[in-house]
């Protein structure tokens, strides 16, 4: 499991208050808090560090390149537009399976880890601005868009190109289709058909998120048998170098080269999918938020190494995650209850599936929720009771606050005798 420590960076000041400042990046990791509290800042740092670790493993960059003065800040953090968040006392540390990074006193250090088990990830950062790609014609030709939006747009277009038929969406009983001749994104209802750009803002935001997440998770799931043998990255790198020698040797015949190309392609495929999503609830009604979350959890569960990292303002999302954890607990109890007949097990699993789809159930140990404070720049873990996330968080407090304010209005009314 990867870990991150950050202090005095952008809105983050004191940083995480537990485990010596180290945040666990679990299978599902969620950041909640007020706007400007640093949720996206932390998510972007995680994305940057995971990508750099992958690039080092693949040989796309060298450690000495990363350690070049200001390279980490001005090049790699600039991609996520967080390069101006650095201060003189900024501290950033990352521990991955293959490499560790440390930034302190304006110096960046890289250390190779000796632990095995590294899985090469496909890293997808899904920005909050994603609904913009449906609002304009040919967004890929616009200048000055965030680089993460360009990357997401490329994956969205690729996902559309790979659609063979209509895709059922989890929201509003709709289907989606891509007209390859007209290059049109379409939503299909029971008795109507509209362009995605004509749909609600919630659909314009959620449909691209759903399609890209689905496509990438299924792409990992379809990896070749050779890829799934989980060779260490050192062995894969050795094989890759040998294959490159074959391909660059003029004496090698075409059939051997063709086989080498196929094998090279298989070992450079990704092993897992890291899905980093800003505000998955964006512009969605609570019921639709739940359905979108269930889809993201399903995609995340397709592969052991997959991870889902989210930022959110939604109290509903936290409550739905609690339901997913409770559902997994009940699922395990039902499946392992020796005294229950198979018919009873099947009936109760069916009832459970009606509330939380079984493929979206989530183990308590796989979930981490962090709450960020915009005032002191601190981060804390959401408390867990009996394996379930606590409902004592700022988002739920705001829901309770509205009830308190309404009671105050009633007191004023009663005081006036009206």
Phi, then psi, of 170 in degrees rounded to 5: -75, -5
Q: Which of 186, 176, 208 shows the shortest CA–CA distance to 283?
A: 208
Domain end call among 247, 267, 287: 267
DSSP 82-135: -GGG--TT-EEEEE-SSEEEEEETTEEEEEE-------PEEEEEE-GGGGGGGT
> What is the dihedral sign for C-alpha 205, 206, 211, 212?
positive
Give me 269's structure tokens: 């495929």
Tell whether 78 and 123 lie within a shared domain.
Answer: yes
Tell whether 31 and 64 lie within a shared domain.
Answer: yes
Give the CA angle between residues 121, 213, 210 to the nearest 5°. 170
Is position 114 within any domain?
Answer: yes
Is position 169 within any domain?
Answer: no
Tell whether 275 and 129 lie within a shared domain.
Answer: yes
Tell whether 304 and 390 lie within a shared domain.
Answer: yes
Tell whether 251 and 304 lie within a shared domain.
Answer: no
Tell whether 297 and 237 lie within a shared domain.
Answer: no
Tell whether 323 and 386 lie within a shared domain.
Answer: yes
Note whether 101 and 108 are within 8 A (CB): yes
Give me 349's structure tokens: 């699993």
Tell whether 5 and 112 lie within a shared domain.
Answer: yes
Q: How far apart are CA 127 and CA 369, in angstroms?
A: 20
Q: How far apart are CA 151 and CA 127, in angstroms?
A: 10
Residue 202: how many CB atoms within 10 A of its CB? 19
Give me 199's structure tokens: 């749909």
Is position 178 within any domain?
Answer: no
Domain residues for 289?
A: 1-133+270-418
pLDDT confidence of residue 215: 95
Q: How far apart are CA 402 and CA 332, in angstroms?
A: 38
Domain end call among 267, 292, 325: 267
Is position 193 within any domain?
Answer: no
Q: How far apart are CA 355 and CA 150, in angstroms?
A: 37
Is position 206 within any domain?
Answer: no
Is position 153 within any domain?
Answer: no
Residue 75: how many CB atoms within 10 A of its CB? 14
Is position 186 within any domain?
Answer: no
Tell whether 240 and 279 lie within a shared domain.
Answer: no
Domain end call among 220, 241, 267: 267
Note whether 273 and 267 are within 8 A (CB): no
Tell whether 315 and 256 lie within a shared domain.
Answer: no
Tell whether 247 and 123 lie within a shared domain.
Answer: no
pLDDT confidence of residue 265: 52
Q: Which of 156, 415, 130, 410 shows the shortest CA–CA distance to 280?
A: 130
pLDDT confidence of residue 224: 46
Tell whether 260 and 316 lie within a shared domain.
Answer: no
Is position 332 within any domain?
Answer: yes
Q: If the chain, 418 residues long, is cut into consecutive pieces of 10 residues, what is the mean pLDDT of each piece?
A: 96 94 97 94 98 90 94 96 96 97 97 86 95 70 79 92 93 94 91 92 95 94 52 59 67 62 60 96 96 98 96 92 91 87 89 93 95 95 69 59 72 71
Q: Report how many domains make up the chain.
A: 2
């Amino acid at each position: 499991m990867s870990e991150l420590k950050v202090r005095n960076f952008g809105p983050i000041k004191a940083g995480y208050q537990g485990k010596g400042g180290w945040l666990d990046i679990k299978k599902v990791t969620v950041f909640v808090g007020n706007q400007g509290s640093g949720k996206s800042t932390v998510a972007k740092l995680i994305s940057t560090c995971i990508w750099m670790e992958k690039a080092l493993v693949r040989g796309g960059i060298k450690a000495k390149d990363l350690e070049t003065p200001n390279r980490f800040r001005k090049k790699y953090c600039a991609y996520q537009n967080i390069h101006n968040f650095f201060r003189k006392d900024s501290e950033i540390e990352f521990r991955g399976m293959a490499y560790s990074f440390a930034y302190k006193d304006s110096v960046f250090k890289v250390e190779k880890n000796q632990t095995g088990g590294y899985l090469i990830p496909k890293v997808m950062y899904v920005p909050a601005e994603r609904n913009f790609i449906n609002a304009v014609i040919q967004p890929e030709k616009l200048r000055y868009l965030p680089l993460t939006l360009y990357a997401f747009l490329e994956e969205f277009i690729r996902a559309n190109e790979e659609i063979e038929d209509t895709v059922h969406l989890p929201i509003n009983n709709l289907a989606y289709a891509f007209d390859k001749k007209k290059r049109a994104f379409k939503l299909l209802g029971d008795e109507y058909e509209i362009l995605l750009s004509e749909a609600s803002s919630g659909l314009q935001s959620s449909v691209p998120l759903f399609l890209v997440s689905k496509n990438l998770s299924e792409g990992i799931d379809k990896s070749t048998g050779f890829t799934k043998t989980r060779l260490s990255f050192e062995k894969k790198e050795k094989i890759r170098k040998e294959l490159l020698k074959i391909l660059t040797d003029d004496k090698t015949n075409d059939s051997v080269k063709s086989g080498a190309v196929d094998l090279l392609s298989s070992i450079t495929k990704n092993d897992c999918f890291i899905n980093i999503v800003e505000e998955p609830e964006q512009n969605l009604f609570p019921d639709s938020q739940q359905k979108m979350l269930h889809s993201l959890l399903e995609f995340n569960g397709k592969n052991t190494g997959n991870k889902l990292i989210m930022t959110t303002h939604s109290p509903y999302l936290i409550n739905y995650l609690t339901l997913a954890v409770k559902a997994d607990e009940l699922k395990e109890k039902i499946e392992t209850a020796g005294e229950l007949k198979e018919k009873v097990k099947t009936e109760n699993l069916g009832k459970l599936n009606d509330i939380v789809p079984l493929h979206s159930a989530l183990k308590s140990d796989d979930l981490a929720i962090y709450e960020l404070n915009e005032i002191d720049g601190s981060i804390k873990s959401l408390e867990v009771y009996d394996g379930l996330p606590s409902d004592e968080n700022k988002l739920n407090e705001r829901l309770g606050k509205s009830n308190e304010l309404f009671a105050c209005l009633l007191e004023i009314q009663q005081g006036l005798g009206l």
